[in-house]
Amino acid sequence: MGSPAPKKDPNGRPYLSQIVGDAIRDLTEKRLADLIRQEPVPKHLAIIMDGNRRFAEAEGIAVREGHARGRDTLEELLDWCLELDIRILTVYALSTENLSRPKEELDALMDLFDRALRQIAVDERVHRHQIRVRVIGNRELLPARVREAIDVAEKATGSYSKYRYNVALGYGGRDEIVEAIRALAREVRDGRITPEQIDSEAVSRHLYTKDLPDPDLVFRTSGEERISNFLLWQSAYSELYFSDVLWPGLTRLEFLRAIRAFQLRRRRYGT
């Protein structure tokens, strides 16, 4: 997205107020970025990308275009995370509940996922930074073309480990926990473990994120203050940050504010 094009007066010159505002924004971004680099950033950042449809309505554009603008914001987000050396990013792209949306909207979303995943496989930035891409969720809920695109992206990046980029598609936190319980029940039935051996670590080993640390920060846009069935087990001790900005309108400045707010908190882990 970047900075919006400056508004101009009747003579074709940018308004002074906008020039000053842009300068203040740039200085604030630089100051925040400098402060952030002096302290640890989240190792694992999880983001609930909410507000595409409301953004489209506010802008007077089609819902399809709202989702496309959201995809563009996600592209920028990846750059922002690389800039701060945030090593693990997990984004909530499509929940199981979202699958009940109108067919036309879902078809447009699936087209976006299909194209984006195939582009990831050949993205120079992904290979240069050695980013491993993985999709978490129930793939059987997704069309064949999207499942094929997932395979393409995962195979192209499967050998990387420097950065991790996880996309939650057809994902539901409760369903994930239920599947873990079923897997453990089968192990008990087959005599591989006893009920007494089931603990939090055993459950974690059966989650989609079994090889990842829990998120340090869960960041949600759109003004809603809930986690909406996202990483329910994993976010037990995560810090939460809620922004009023609709996802496609997220700016680098608002992103930096979220990271800085995380750094200024004292994590207590239940104490």
The side-by-side arrangement of strands in the sheet containing 131-136 is 131-136, 163-171, 88-95, 44-48, 217-220, 239-242
For residue 32, tell me if it sits in a domain: no
| Phi, psi dihedral angles at 133 (to 5 degrees) | -105, 135
Report how far residue 51's alpha carbon sits from residue 131's, in angstroms, rounded to the nearest whole number: 27
Please say if the pLDDT value at position 260 is more than 90. yes
- Asked if residue 141 is part of any domain, the answer here is yes
pTM of the model: 0.90
Quick one: tokens of 42?
């989240």
Distance CA 8, CA 16 (A): 9
Q: What is the CATH number of the domain that holds 237?
A: 3.40.1180.10
Please state the φ and ψ torsions of residue 46, each to the nearest 5 degrees: -115, 135
Residue 270 lies in a domain: no
What residues make up the domain containing 97? 42-172+214-262
94 part of a folded domain? yes
- 269 found inside a domain: no
Given a contact cutoff of 8 angstroms between Cβ atoms, the answer to whether 46 and 92 are in contact is: yes
Domain-located, residue 185: no
Q: Tell me whether residue 136 is in a domain.
A: yes
Active site residue: 22, 98, 151, 175, which one?
98
Task: Inform me whether the pLDDT recorded for 15 exceeds 50.
Answer: yes
DSSP 177-212: HHHHHHHHHHHHHTTSS-GGG--HHHHHTTSTTTTS
| Domain count along the chain | 1
pLDDT value at 37 more than 60: yes
Assess if residue 34 is contained within a domain: no
Please confirm, yes or no, whether 98 is among the known catalytic residues: yes
Q: Which of 9, 11, 34, 50 is catalytic?
A: 50
pLDDT of 70-94, one tens digit each?
999 999 999 999 999 999 999 999 9
Question: How far does Cα 94 stand from its chain's mean position?
Answer: 10
The pLDDT-based confidence of 1 (bands split at 50, 70, 90) is very low
Region 210-236: mean pLDDT is 97
Backbone angles phi, psi at 239, to 5 degrees: -75, 145
